[in-house]
């Protein structure tokens, strides 16, 4: 199922992935951290169901990543990754 409805922190997904019929894969274009994290939390269940959940497939994520790569070009990689407390 392709969910092209804009995700925002204020508006929940209209078709939550857990409500999909068995065997139906899911793709959305989420562009905010909260909806992306919400879908990623379903990874274990998706693996048990043998389905694929793809989030962040919209242009916003691509544009952000491309900008970060460009800004980081010429710099050494960080010594370690930051993780929230």
Contact yes or no for 12/22 (Cβ under 8 A):
no
State residue 9's pLDDT score: 47
- Residue 26's DSSP bridge partners are 53
pLDDT by residue (tens digit) across 27-80?
Answer: 888 877 888 888 888 888 888 888 898 888 877 777 888 888 888 888 777 777
């Amino acid at each position: 199922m392709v969910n092209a409805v804009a995700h925002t922190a204020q508006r929940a997904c209209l078709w939550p992935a857990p409500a999909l019929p068995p065997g139906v894969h899911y793709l959305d274009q989420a562009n905010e951290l909260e909806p992306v994290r919400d879908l990623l939390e379903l990874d274990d269940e998706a693996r048990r169901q043998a389905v694929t959940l793809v989030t962040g497939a919209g242009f916003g994520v691509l544009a952000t990543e491309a900008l970060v790569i460009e800004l980081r070009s010429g710099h050494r990689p960080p010594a370690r990754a930051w993780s929230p407390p």
